[in-house]
């Protein structure tokens, strides 16, 4: 492997892909380095000109084709999404079909308003739950005498996943849930500039367990919107840039976080930003500093689902780069759900060392054959890989702590029968969901209909936040590989995936070493 310098980068432009490019590269092995399709700082004299080097292999071409399709349909897909969500809200706000017809006749029809607190996205229609889950575990006993009474009864993994779920909604909806359902303090909801998409498309919110004397601060990043073709294209992107000793990082995710120069990370990530755009990293960093000054004992949890999970783990990586000790020492944990790959092995090794020494815990949660944790695809050129302990849900009720989820290569044909079988099992369980765990887990016809997608595209339906919420509330987690998690320290457990139901291979382990107060 050729080592990367701080100025190394490979940027792909799938929007410029032509059929002739596919034919000449796959059939004749023609290099596309230097063409409009590939920008790179790396000389072809170093990497050569054949297929399998910088330019192209089969995975690269498949990725380009999928990205090109996503970009091409982005406009119609967004319009379709608006129509679907408006229709769903029209029916739900008017009490169903019969009530809607009555309201129409009587002139009392309720028209959905996209920015209102009762307007829900497709994801909120798939999973309507807003309240946090009260656990009857030993947490309640161990957390006695703590002032955070509104948090101490909660499952922290559920709190993070619910935050990662509601961040898909509009500001009014989010504020209403945090204030009235969670009884917490809403700080702010943001729309940040995304240089990759050239729009204010990176969203996040910050909340605290209380307004004064807060002990917990939550930062939640929004993930891939179901009807955003450009978001899906970002997830698939194989473009990378070198971050010096930190290794390679995903360009699209970095630009969504606030990167300003994709070809030089030192210029792209200045410690102090003087521009006029509102960028996610710098704005959130500033807000956290203010909150920590006002709440000296507060600890921070960063979370996100899908693309939001990628931003959640990249955010502390830039804190490391800028040596933001005040925030880093207050960072209690990073919890991601259905997170795509964000960097190469060097990046993972660097962050594992920093997370183990500076931060308290990083858990990456994966439900079944969710397609997004398998993207960007397992490409031998870009070499994107996951790092950190993986909490893998084999079903709603069984989870394993392991180094790597099964089927890391989405195109592995050996897993095709299992992926389709699991899609059918999920659909079956959805129909009878409330029988075993209770009525709270009953699924609507919208949710069941969404699962049908998994019968066409294995792993797509498994990406739903609903399954991650169910996993946080129902799963029993076993340790399959002890090396999958980091070495524990006295204050190292925020609980998360190890919450009260952590089991070894043969017996249940519930003790104070694995349960700690926020």
To the nearest 10°, the Cα dihedral for 283, 289, 293, 297?
A: 120
463 is catalytic: yes
Q: Which of 426, 463, 464, 467 is catalytic?
A: 463
CA distance 219 to 163: 8
Active-site choice (239, 306, 382, 462): 306
Q: Give per-residue burial for 86-116: e unless 16+ CB within 10 Å, then b.
A: eebbeebbbeeeeebeeeeeeeeeeebeeee
- Tokens coding 121: 């996205």
Rounded CA separation 311/289 (Å): 19
For 389, the token pair is: 């302990």
Q: What is the C-alpha separation between 503 and 505, in angstroms, rounded?
A: 7
Asked if 343 and 250 count as a contact pair (C-beta separation under 8 A), the reply is: yes
Measured over the CA atoms of residue 389, residue 390, residue 396 and residue 397, the dihedral's sign is: negative
CB 415 within 8 A of CB 370: no
Q: Can you tell me the distance from the alpha carbon of 55 to that of 39, in angstroms, rounded to the nearest whole number?
A: 10
Q: How far apart are CA 300 and CA 208, in angstroms?
A: 9
Answer yes or no: are the C-beta atoms of 69 and 15 closer than 8 Å. Answer: no
DSSP summary character for residue 503: B
Phi and psi torsions of 89, nearest 5°: -70, -35
Which of helix, strand or coil describes residue 313?
helix
Q: Which of 216, 161, 157 is nearest to 183 (CA)?
A: 216
- Helices 19-28, 58-93: inter-axial angle, 10-degree rounding: 140
Give the separation between CA 142 and CA 161, rounded to whole angstroms. Answer: 23
> What spatial distance separates the first Cα and last Cα of the chain, rounded to whole Å?
43
326 is catalytic: no
Classify 121 as helix, strand or coil: coil
Total residue count of the chain as it appears in this document: 518
Pick the catalytic residue from 158, 346, 370, 378: 370
Quote the CA–CA distance of 146 and 299 in Å, as a whole number: 14
Task: Give the ranges where 280-377 is alpha helix by DSSP (H).
Answer: 280-294, 307-321, 325-328, 345-357
The β-bridge partners of 241 are: 9, 249
The three-point CA angle 460-466-472 to 5° equals: 115
Tell me the catalytic residues: 306, 370, 463
């Amino acid at each position: 492997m050729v080592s990367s310098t701080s100025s190394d980068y490979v940027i792909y432009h799938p929007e410029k892909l032509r059929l002739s490019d596919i034919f000449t590269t796959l059939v004749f092995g023609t290099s596309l380095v230097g063409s409009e399709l590939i920008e790179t700082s790396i000389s072809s004299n170093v990497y050569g000109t054949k297929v399998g080097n910088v330019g192209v292999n089969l995975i690269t071409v498949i990725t380009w084709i999928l990205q090109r399709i996503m970009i091409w349909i982005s406009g119609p897909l967004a319009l379709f999404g608006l129509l679907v969500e408006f229709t769903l809200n029209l029916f739900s706000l008017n009490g169903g079909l019969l009530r809607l017809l009555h309201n129409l006749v009587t002139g009392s029809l309720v028209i959905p308003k996209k920015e209102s607190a009762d307007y829900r996205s497709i994801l909120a229609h798939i999973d309507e739950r807003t309240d946090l889950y009260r656990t009857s575990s030993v947490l309640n006993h161990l957390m006695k005498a703590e002032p955070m009474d509104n948090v101490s009864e909660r499952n922290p993994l559920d709190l993070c996943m619910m935050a990662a779920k509601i961040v898909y909604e509009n500001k009014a909806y989010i504020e209403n849930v945090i204030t009235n359902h969670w009884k917490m303090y809403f700080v702010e909801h943001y729309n940040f500039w995304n240089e990759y998409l050239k729009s204010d498309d990176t969203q996040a919110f910050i909340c605290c367990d209380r307004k004064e004397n807060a002990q917990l601060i939550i930062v939640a990043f929004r993930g891939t919107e179901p009807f955003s073709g450009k978001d899906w294209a970002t997830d698939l992107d194989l473009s990378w840039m070198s971050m010096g000793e930190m290794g390679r990082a995903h360009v699209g995710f970095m630009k969504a976080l606030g990167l300003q120069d994709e070809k030089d990370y030192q210029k792209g990530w200045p410690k102090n930003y003087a521009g006029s755009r509102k960028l996610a990293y710098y704005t959130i960093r500033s807000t956290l500093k203010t909150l920590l000054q006002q709440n000296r004992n507060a600890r921070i949890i960063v979370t996100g689902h899908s693309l939001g999970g990628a931003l959640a783990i990249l955010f502390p990586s830039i804190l490391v780069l800028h040596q933001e000790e005040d925030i880093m020492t207050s960072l209690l944990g990073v919890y991601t759900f259905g997170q795509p790959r964000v960097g190469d092995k060097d990046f993972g090794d660097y962050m594992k060392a920093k997370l183990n020494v500076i931060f308290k815990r990083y858990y990456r949660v994966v439900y079944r054959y969710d397609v997004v944790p398998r993207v960007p695809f397992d490409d031998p050129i870009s070499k994107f890989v996951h790092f950190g302990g993986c909490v893998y849900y084999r079903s709603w009720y069984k989870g394993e702590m392991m180094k790597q989820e099964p089927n890391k290569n989405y195109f592995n044909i050996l897993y095709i029968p299992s992926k389709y079988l699991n899609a059918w099992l999920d659909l079956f369980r959805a129909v009878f969901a409330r029988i075993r765990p209770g009525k709270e887990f009953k699924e609507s016809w919208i949710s069941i209909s969404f699962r049908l997608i998994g019968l066409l595209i294995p792993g797509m339906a498994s990406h739903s936040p609903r399954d991650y919420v169910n996993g946080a509330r129902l799963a029993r987690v076993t340790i399959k590989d002890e090396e999958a998690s980091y070495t524990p320290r006295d204050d190292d457990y925020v609980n998360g995936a190890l919450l009260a139901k952590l089991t070894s291979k043969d017996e249940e382990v519930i003790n104070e070493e694995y349960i700690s107060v926020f």
